[in-house]
Each structure stands twice: as structure tokens, then as C-alpha cells.
Amino acid sequence: MPSTQSYANYTAIELATDPDFISWVKYPDQASNQFWEKFLADNPAQLPILNRAKAIVNEMKLVEHNMGEQRGVEVWNKIEQKIQIFSSGKKSSSVVSMRKWWMAAAVLLLVATGGYLFWKQEVSPTMTKTTTAPSLQNDVAPGTNKAILILADGRKITLDSNSNGAISKQGNVTIIQVDGQLSYEASGGTQNKNEVTYNTITTPKGGQYQMVLADGSKVWLNSASSLRFPTVFIGNERMVQLDGEGYFEIAHNESMPFIVEKGETRVQVLGTHFNINAYDDENDIKVTLLEGSVSVSQGNIKKVLAPGQQAQIKAGIQVVNDVNIDKVMAWKNGWFEFDDADLSAIMRQVSRWYDVDIEFEGRSTDQEFGGRISKNLPMSAILRMLESSGVKGFRLEGKKLFVQP
């Protein structure tokens, strides 16, 4: 990587087309974080430019898989137009800068190994105000941290990011909400097994939430999901029931395995990190292991996973190796990330996060898409990208989004 001073006079566009800068924005690590922190320490006036460049990199276009020659020419023409527009304010002597743009265009148009096209969308000063797709008359804000906690006596408590403090007490367990996270904290004393009560946390469409169970295990719930759990764990196992999608970081307890149930599927662990996608409208249940070891069972079938493996459960259990962990964990890390995803699969995610019902006007296309975009953008941003990749259009009526494949 060059020295920090070599970036001192870069514009936002030049930074956004630099491979090392792109790598830091998309896949930061300790070394790259230290480099760019030093850059800002040496060049504090560059902070607005750096933030602008990060916004450009993060605003990614979805693209189609194995596009034809005609479609490739159309997209190339769009990139040429963007280059001309973004370069119009530069001095004619900026030959190096122009060369960087042409190099960037070539890289962004690369259709190398898998036939994918990745290109970024410049965020103009007015774009944040005009975020509506051409065929969409209104817009929908992204989801937020929100959920409903259902106590053992049936009471419902609304959870969000704005309230802090103790919200309830059950037996010797105090329920605390702090900055969008729910925690169950047990006070001193013993708990009678007959006194164990169960709570349920549900996230609506357009919501997600994080919680810490009584044993210290952490759970992140995706939108339209629910988790039923005891307020305190007693006995020889820790069992919860999941609907939807959740990411778990389980506190190690060798004498009390942790079990996640979804119908007849059971995931058993001692202490590990894993993700479960168990939406009823998906084709199968997917259990992906990030760290440690888990056993996945359905009836008499049982499989043990190693890190990087995924169990796909439908009629039986299929184990897949070398899973794209970034794609699996994108939802938790604030992204939509697609890889060979068809339009129906993408729209199911749109439906959950933006709380809209989807209706296709015609048969859904078999076209596949790949790309990444922030979940913090309004719905029109992702629809705009799909339209630019060949989807005919969208129409929003109330909370129903009509899709023209």
C-alpha cells in the first residue's frame, strides 16, 4: 500500500477508484484501519472527501449474470456518460485523473470469471433527495431496530433504539433495554424449575433486534423473525425455538448444550457462532457455521458441521462446503448481498426489510443478479438498480409493490 501522504491531494472520485481504498471500505481489517486513521491524522481536512469516497464505494449497482452483448454495450454507454459527467469539472490537464477513470471503467466493466458486471453509482449532491426510481411514485424508508417482547403473562412491550433501562422483572431476572439491545440479567438466589417462564421476541417486517440471553449468549434477529426462550436456563440443556433468521454467539457451557429448534430440525452446540435461515417462505432451512462445531439433526438424520460449512435442510440434510460467509452474514452487517440470486429471492428480502407485499405482474424472470447495497438506503435505491439491470419497472400502491419482471 502507498504512503498516506500519496493520497493527500486525491479527490473523492480518485479515492473511490483506488483498489486499496475500495478494499478497506468493503473488507476492513486492523492494518487498513490503522493506515486510514493515520491518513486522517496527517490530513484532517480530507475527512469530508474520504467520507464522500466511502459513500461512492458503498453505493453499488446490482448487475445481471451472463448479460448479452447488447446489454453489455448499453451499460458501457452509461459508464461512459458517467465518466464524462464526473470529469466535466476537472481541469483539462488532469490526464492522470482521466486515465484513472478509464481504468476504473475497465475494471468496473470486467466480466471475468463468472460473467458478472460490477459498477458503482456516483452519489450526486441531489441524489439523496431524489431517491425515487423512475416508475415509483413514492418511497419506503429502510427498516430499523424494533421488536415486540411478549412476556409470560401475555403482556406486550414495544422495543426500539430510543428507550433505556429496566422494563420488567420476572422472578429473579431483570429485563433491561439499552441502545437497541435487550438483556436478561439474573440476580442472586436459586430458581425453582417450576418457576421458569418463557418469553418471545418478534421482529416485524422492517425491523431487526439484538438480545443477550440469561446465559450470556447473544442473538441477532433479522426482520419478520421470532425467538421463544426461557427467562433463565435450568436443567441439562438450553433450548430456544426460532422462526425466521437469527445469528447466534453461544456462551460455552459443556454441561448444558444449547439447542435451537425449528419444527423437526434441531441445531445443538456447546459454544459457537452460527447463522440459521429458517423462513417459512424459503425453499429450505440453512444452518451456516462460522466458528466452533454444531450438530444438525432432522428425525434420524444427523450431520456435524465444521466452520465454513452450511447444512441445507429440506427432505434430508445436505452439507455444502466453502460457503460465502460474507453473503450469509450480510443482513447482520447492514447489507443486501446477492450472488446468483433470482428476482423472487431478492424481492422476498425487499418485502421483509421494507414491510411491503410483493405481487408479480407476469412470470418472475429467471435472470440472476449479483451485487451488494447498503440496507440503510430507501427502497427506491435497490429498485433503481434492478431497473438498470433489466427489470421493467415497479409500482407501489399503499403497502403493495407490483413488480414487472
pLDDT single digits (tens) 161-212:
777 888 888 878 889 988 778 999 877 655 555 567 899 999 999 999 999 9
In a domain, 41, yes or no: yes
For residues 260 and 245, the answer to whether their CB atoms sit within 8 Å is no
pTM of the predicted model as reported, rounded to 2 decimal places: 0.69
Work out the number of other CB atoms within 10 angstroms of the CB of residue 34: 10
For residues 196 and 231, the answer to whether their CB atoms sit within 8 Å is yes
CA dist 179 to 20, 125, 163, 165, 299, Å?
A: 34, 31, 7, 9, 40
CA angle 273, 274, 275 (to 5 degrees): 145
In a domain, 135, yes or no: no
Residue whose C-alpha cell is 433504539: 161
Whether 153 and 226 map to the same domain: the answer is yes
| DSSP-based three-state secondary structure for 229 | strand
Residue numbers of the domain that contains 279: 144-327
Alpha helix stretches (DSSP H) within 88-175: 95-108
In a domain, 390, yes or no: no
| pLDDT recorded at residue 194 | 57
Q: What is the pLDDT of residues 306-345, one digit of tens each?
A: 999 999 999 899 999 989 898 899 999 888 888 778 899 9
* CATH code at position 182: 2.60.120.1440
The dihedral sign for the CA sequence 304, 307, 308, 314: positive
| pLDDT recorded at residue 389 | 76
Work out the pLDDT band at 224, boundaries 50, 70, 90: very high
Whether 96 and 167 map to the same domain: the answer is no
| pLDDT recorded at residue 74 | 55
For residues 172 and 109, the answer to whether their CB atoms sit within 8 Å is no
Whether 153 and 70 map to the same domain: the answer is no
Q: Is residue 35 scored above 60 in pLDDT?
A: yes
In a domain, 365, yes or no: no
Q: Is residue 286 scored above 80 in pLDDT?
A: yes
CA dist 286 to 10, 20, 155, Å?
A: 44, 34, 32
In a domain, 376, yes or no: no
The C-alpha cell at 40 is: 486522517
Provide mean pLDDT across the span 264-291.
95
- Domain final residue pick, 108, 134, 162: 108
For residues 149 and 402, the answer to whether their CB atoms sit within 8 Å is no
CA dist 67 to 71, 110, 115, 403, Å?
A: 6, 12, 7, 21
DSSP 8-state class, residue 143: P
For residues 309 and 289, the answer to whether their CB atoms sit within 8 Å is yes
**Residues above pLDDT 90, as percent of the chain:** 43
- Domain final residue pick, 276, 310, 327: 327
| DSSP-based three-state secondary structure for 71 | helix
The C-alpha cell at 41 is: 491524522
Which range, 50-64, 239-253, 357-371, 386-400, has the best average confidence (pLDDT)?
A: 239-253
DSSP state letters, 2-65: --GGGGTT--HHHHHT-HHHHHHHHS--HHHHHHHHHHHHH-GGGHHHHHHHHHHHHSBPPEET
Q: List residues bridging with 326 in a β-sheet.
A: none
In a domain, 119, yes or no: no
Whether 223 and 317 map to the same domain: the answer is yes
For residues 275 and 293, the answer to whether their CB atoms sit within 8 Å is no
| pLDDT recorded at residue 348 | 95
Work out the number of other CB atoms within 10 angstroms of the CB of residue 257: 17
Work out the pLDDT band at 366, boundaries 50, 70, 90: confident
Whether 168 and 291 map to the same domain: the answer is yes
How many domains does the chain contain in total? 2
Whether 19 and 76 map to the same domain: the answer is yes
Work out the pLDDT band at 132, boundaries 50, 70, 90: very low
CA distance 124 to 144: 25
**Ranges 82-96, 134-148, 350-364: which has the least confidence:** 82-96
The C-alpha cell at 236 is: 441439562
Whether 101 and 169 map to the same domain: the answer is no
Residue whose C-alpha cell is 414491510: 355
DSSP 8-state class, residue 334: T
CA distance 252 to 249: 9
Residue whose C-alpha cell is 433450548: 239
Q: What is the pLDDT of residues 65-108, one digit of tens each?
A: 444 445 545 544 554 444 444 444 443 333 344 434 434 443 44
Helix 47-58 × helix 19-26 angle, to 10°: 70
CA distance 309 to 274: 10
Which range, 89-93, 95-99, 138-142, 156-160, has the best average confidence (pLDDT)?
A: 156-160
- Domain final residue pick, 293, 327, 361: 327
Q: What is the pLDDT of residues 371-393, one digit of tens each?
A: 778 888 889 888 888 887 778 88
The C-alpha cell at 225 is: 423473525
Whether 58 and 151 map to the same domain: the answer is no
Whether 97 and 159 map to the same domain: the answer is no
CA distance 163 to 181: 10
Whether 159 and 249 map to the same domain: the answer is yes
| pLDDT recorded at residue 45 | 86
| pLDDT recorded at residue 136 | 54
The C-alpha cell at 73 is: 454495450
Q: What does DSSP say about strands 238-249 and 258-262: parallel, antiparallel, or unpaired? A: parallel
In a domain, 149, yes or no: yes
In a domain, 162, yes or no: yes
Whether 251 and 158 map to the same domain: the answer is yes
